[in-house]
Structure 1
Amino acid sequence: MRYLSLLLVVIFCHTAVAKEAKVVRVTQGAHPYVVDLIKLALSYQKDVYKLRYVDNIPTQSRAIRLLGKENGIDIFWSVTNSRRENMARAVRVPIVKGLLGYRILVINKDNQAKFSNLNHISQLQKFHFGLRYDWPDHNIFVDNQLSVNEFKTFTGALNMLKSNRFDAIPISILELPDLVSRYQTYAEQNLLLYYPSAVYLFVEKSDQALFHALSNGMNQALQDGQFEKLFNQYFNGLIKELELEKRTLIELSNRSLPPSAPLAEQHLWYRKETKNEKN
């Protein structure tokens, strides 16, 4: 019996090793949270998956075109819009719970008093905002009838800010701490601008197997609490560090967000508790 047990163990181990992992290609240098979330979603599947990291994917527009191609990638992640959802198949779970739509202003410290008592979008119309032409919030600010001055580099933008060519640069809360540290800039202390924004995982349209693996895995991770656990592990510290709950929220509309976005499913989104919100 003892030898039979050992034989069964050897056979089982050999079978497990022999089962070939399915390779899924992703962009090298991805945020660790995105990588861990993909691994989490795929871990619920019967098939074994292995990530392979691909270099030299320089731009988002090129990345989405390379989905499923021989020298491309299999999973792409980005802020969604109708064009991207026409080009690829979106797993419609906002992977950072809309955090990318929360913006804090970088301003000249001496101008803090100008922003301290604002609570309505109409009060923002007297300011000029610096935005790169290719940032997603460029068109959002224009659509909300806010004045936008374009810049090409962040270093150039800071020089324009110092010379009062514009009043503020809206920065995603996911990028703000690093930018403030690297450039020794000043973050406005009172406001939190927000527009609904969803970052999705995308796959090539015909890749039904990978789409279903990611969709099913994400839904299971949401149901058993592992998605929330991973999100909190990466972002709770940031939310506390920036003291988002103490800030006055001003909401902007975002007409580039496709109607299919699951805004009604509140558990999929981070939502700051209100403080003097007037829109």
Structure 2
Amino acid sequence: MALGVGANAQSSKRIVIMPAFTDIDNYSVRMLKLSLARASTKYEIVEDSASGQRTQGRYIEDLRAGRIDVMWAASDASIEAQVPPVRIPLLKGLLGHRIFLIHKNSQHKFDAINTLDDLKKIKFGQGATWADTNILESNGLTVVKTQKYENLFHMLDGGRFDAFPRGVQEPWGEVNKIPGLELAIEKRLMLVYKMPFYIFVAPDNPSLARDIESGFNAMIADGTFDHEFLNDPSIKKVIELADLKNRKVFYLDNPALPKETPVNRPELWLDINNL
């Protein structure tokens, strides 16, 4: 009997994943576990024990060096050139849905916006190096840039620009972040562009990547993926707070989207008309 237990234990593969700190991290870990539960290989999943939250660049280095086996992040061509993604967008493109922080007295300005030409008349604030900055500018929108994230709140309050686009999960904790600033969340508009959030796997572990992708595709086929996504407490709360289905949407192109992005699989992407 002991021999049987030992043989079974040896057949499981131990994989080290980046640690979970946020709601999105916890969701990603749960989806990873559900995916790998469907694999023929048994996996033992453990979080990296290194203390503290590290930069995305450091996690990429750790993944490339094999110090960890799995990480997750919003994707772009530069990340995909370094580490291989599992091209199933974990958040169904939710990160590419952007609503605005505005000055609390300027909602009337946005109530008058109905066309892309109207949208081009206002100024947006962004970080100088953010991928979103290039997306907005490539679609003909005017962007005021700064190096420091915190500056954007003061610049918005001071009228340097009209709107600070945020991922739908972000502005609720930011609107009152700095005491004394008169900010609000804009009520009726949303920008949407493709921004996949993927699991990335160590380059020397293609079998793990195949198992994760196969598990996700099985979850999509039987409805488990959508069920988990729409019923995750943090995602559900954000979709309700942001009132996504009742906003006027402006669809923008993302010029940095890698050509391998599965844009031709509608089942992988959030459709707010089906909420």
TM-score after normalising by structure 1 = 0.86
**1:174 matched to which residue of 2?**
169
What is the aligned-residue identity percentage? 30
Match of 1:88 among 83, 89, 100: 83
| Aligned counterpart, 2:214 | 216
Partner of 1:75: 70
- Computed over aligned residues only, the root mean square deviation of the Cα atoms, in angstroms, reads 2.3
Please give the alpha-carbon distance, in whole angstroms, between the structure 2 residues aligned to 1:226 and 1:49.
20
Q: Where do 5+ consecutive residues of structure 2 fail to align?
A: none
1:37-57 deviations in Å (ceiling 9; x for gaps): 111111111222222222356
User: What's the CA shift for 1:105?
Assistant: 0.6
Which residue of structure 2 lines up, in the alignment, with residue 269 of structure 1? 269
| Residue-by-residue CA offset, 1:142-175 (whole Å, 9 max, x unaligned) | 1112221223444321111111111111000022
Instruction: Tell me the equivalent position of 2:195.
Output: 197
Measured against aligned partners, the alpha-carbon deviations of 1:204-227 in whole angstroms (never above 9, x if no partner) come to 333111111111111111122221
Runs of 4+ in 1 over 6 A off after TM superposition: none
State the partner residue of 1:260: 260
Structure 2 Cα separation of the partners of residues 21 and 153 of structure 1 = 45
Structure 1 partner of 2:60: 64
CA distance in 2, matches of 1:204, 1:113: 49
Q: Deviations over 1:192-214 (max 9, x none)?
A: 11111111111133311111111
1:232-257 Cα distance to aligned partner (Å, 9 max, x none): 11223321221111110011111111
Alignment of 1:1-279 (within 5 A): 14=5, 18-19=9-10, 21-30=12-21, 31-54=25-48, 55=50, 56=52, 58-70=54-66, 72-180=67-175, 182-183=177-178, 185-234=183-232, 235-273=235-273
Write the distance in 1 (CA, Å) between the matches of 2:231 and 2:115: 33
Cα distance in 2 for residues equivalent to 1:169 and 1:262: 29
Alpha-carbon distance in 2 for matches of 1:26, 1:18: 20
- Which digits, 9 at most, give the CA deviation of each residue in 1:69-116, with x for residues without a partner? 25x321122222223222221211111001000000100010110001
User: 46-55 or 158-167: which moved more?
Assistant: 46-55
- Matches of 1:133 and 1:50 in 2, distance apart? 41
Change in CA separation of 1:39 and 1:182 when aligned onto 2, cut-off 3 Å:
farther
Question: Greater CA radius of gyration, 1 or 2?
Answer: 1
Partners of 2:153 and 2:169 lie apart in 1 by 19
**Counterpart of 1:37 in 2: which secondary structure?**
helix
1:138/1:259 CA distance change after superposition, 3 Å: same
Pairwise CA distance, 1:120: 2.0
Q: Is the contact made by 2:74 and 2:196 (CA closer than 8 Å) also made in structure 1?
A: yes
Secondary structure class of the residue paired with 1:32 = helix
How many residues are aligned here? 264
SS in 2 for 1:122: helix
The answer to whether the Cα contact below 8 Å between 1:130 and 1:148 also exists between their aligned partners in 2 is: yes
Using structure 2 for the length normalisation, give the TM-score.
0.87
Asked if the contact 1:121/1:251 (under 8 Å) is kept, the reply is no
